[in-house]
Amino acid sequence: MKQSGSCQCGLITYHFNQEDVLSAHHCHCKDCQRSTGCGKATILYIPSKKLTIEGDLKFYESKGSMGSTIKRGFCGNCGSGVMSYAKELPMLKFIKAGTLDDSSWLKIDSSFFSNSAEEWNAPVKDLKCYEGNPDMLSSLKNVIKSL
């Protein structure tokens, strides 16, 4: 099933096939809190090859907890955070779930960084929960390489 999304003003759009989504997560890290202005970011993991983005994203670069460099892509016009990735693993992209045109189908697999989650936006009960970064990137590396 084809899925699509966009930033708030519509200058950035993207699409992909739902079957190509690897997993979905809530991230409660402080950087996600600051960049979204919310208690957490909700992200979808998708192989870069399977994602088509139209429009020019701007990127803000910062250091991730595992020493990686995180590039957060946003619309230069409306400021919506749309997609991010780790510079060391460019073959995997993280889409911000709130930018999907329809996100009703989304199933979340786990929460990251419960150690910096706030009580007013606590990790969802009964969901697998990691205190920090579960380092899924290195385990996903092989999966992605085989695609």
Shortest separation between residue 61's beta carbon and Zn ion, angstroms: 15
- For Zn ion, the binding residues (CB under 5 A) are 7, 9, 11, 27, 29, 32, 75, 77-78
Min separation Cβ 98 and Zn ion, Å: 13
User: Between 16 and 112, whose beta carbon lies closer to Zn ion?
Assistant: 112
User: Which of 17/121 has CB closer to Zn ion?
Assistant: 121
- Cα(116)–Cα(102) distance, integer angstroms: 29
Comparison of 9 and 147: residue with beta carbon closer to Zn ion? 9
The least distance separating Zn ion from the CB of residue 3, rounded to whole angstroms, comes to 18
Please identify which residue in the block is written with the tokens 């701007």.
Answer: 58
> Which residues in the chain belong to E strands, given as ranges?
2-6, 13-17, 23-27, 41-47, 52-54, 57-63, 69-75, 81-86, 92-96, 110-112, 128-129
